[in-house]
Amino acid sequence: MSKICCYSNCNNSVFDMRTLMCEVHYKDFIKDDVINKPKHYHECGVDPISIGEKIFSKEEMNGFYKMNMLKYWYRAGKKEGNSKEQDLEKYNFYKKKLEENK
């Protein structure tokens, strides 16, 4: 059973199961990271938004930001252990990401 690379418009089968990338895109991704980010950061786990911004289309990321805005707006002040202010801050975080991604 093979999966398809998560880069938009790439039909290669997946080489790295952790990142769901084909070999070509995985090598590109790693090379890119050595230049832009210290290696230890990568080893500790790059945050998923940064990965998403590299491998998903603008439209896909906008959908992700919108869905998170909806989630945090909807649950603000209702989820135990999370203050309303904190959830609204997260709402604003995703709103800003959406505005920046135009």
Nearer to Zn ion, 5 or 76 (CB): 5
Place of tokens 């990321």: 61
Contact region for Zn ion (CB under 5 A) — 12-20, 48-56, 72-80, 93-101? 12-20
- Burial class of residue 15 in the structure, from the number of CB atoms within 10 Å of its CB (0-12 exposed, 13-18 middle, 19+ buried): middle
Among 76, 99, 78, 97, CA closest to 88:
76
Q: How many residues bind Zn ion (CB under 5 A)?
A: 6
Pick one of 1, 3, 7, 98: the residue that binds Zn ion (CB under 5 A). 7
Which residues contact residue 74 at a Cβ distance below 8 angstroms, ignoring those fewer than 6 apart? none
Task: Give the one residue of 22, 61, 69, 76 binding Zn ion; rule: CB under 5 A.
Answer: 22
Could you say which residues in the range 23-52 bind Zn ion, by CB under 5 A? 25
- The helix-helix angle for 23-36 and 48-55 (nearest 10°) equals 120
**Is 19 a binder of Zn ion (CB under 5 A)?**
no
Binding residues for Zn ion, rule: CB under 5 A, are: 5, 7, 10, 12, 22, 25
